[in-house]
Homo-oligomer: A and B are copies of this chain.
Amino acid sequence: MKRLFRQQLNLSPKQYEGYWQRILREGVKAGELRADLDVPVVTYGLLGMLNWAYKWYKPRGRLGVREVAEQFSTLALAGLSVASPKTRPSRKRRR
């Protein structure tokens, strides 16, 4: 697992996790993501959601990778956003 991480992402799992946390923190700071959640726990939750996919995802299953990614990003963005858009945001809020 660790070797695969390094090969594919050129990151250690810890670094990968760190990037996620940084992205979430930036979103909170920008006022786009809710500030009442615990960033490390939420990061683990999201990574779990993604990492667990190897248990169930079937390349020839009902939904393709893109559709699964869309489901998960819709769910996660709705859960994390301050504005909680119920449709996939087509454009970013202007700042």
Q: Given A48-B50, A53-B48, A56-B44, A80–B75 Cβ distance below 8 Å?
A: yes
Cα distance, A78 to B79, chains bound together (Å): 5
Cα distance, A92 to B39, chains bound together (Å): 11
A11 at the B interface (CB under 8 A): no
Chain A at the B interface: mostly helix, strand, loop or mixed? helix
The count of identical subunits is 2
Q: Given A48-B49, A78-B84, A41–B55 Cβ distance below 8 Å?
A: no
Residues of A at the B interface (CB closer than 8 Å) are: 34, 36-38, 40-42, 44-53, 55-56, 62-63, 67-68, 71-72, 74-76, 78-80, 82, 84, 86, 89-90, 92
